[in-house]
Amino acid sequence: MTVRYVESCKLPTKWGVFDMHGFEDPEADKEHTVLTMGNVADVETVLVRIHSECLTGDGLFSVRCDCGAQLEEAFRQIAAAGAGAIFYLRQEGRGIGLLNKIKAYNLQDAGADTVEANEQLGFGADMRDYSICRPMFDYLGIKRVKLLTNNPRKVDALGEMGIEVVERVALQTGKNPHNEKYLATKAGKLGHLIGGDKT
Catalytic residue positions, numbered: 126, 128
Q: Which helix (H) or strand (E) holds 145?
A: strand 144-148
Alpha helices in the chain (DSSP H): 67-81, 92-95, 98-109, 114-120, 134-140, 152-160, 180-190
**Cβ proximity of 163 and 80 under 8 Å:** no
Would you mind telling me the total number of residues written for the chain in this entry?
199
Contacts for 178 with CB less than 8 Å, ≥ 6 apart: 63, 64
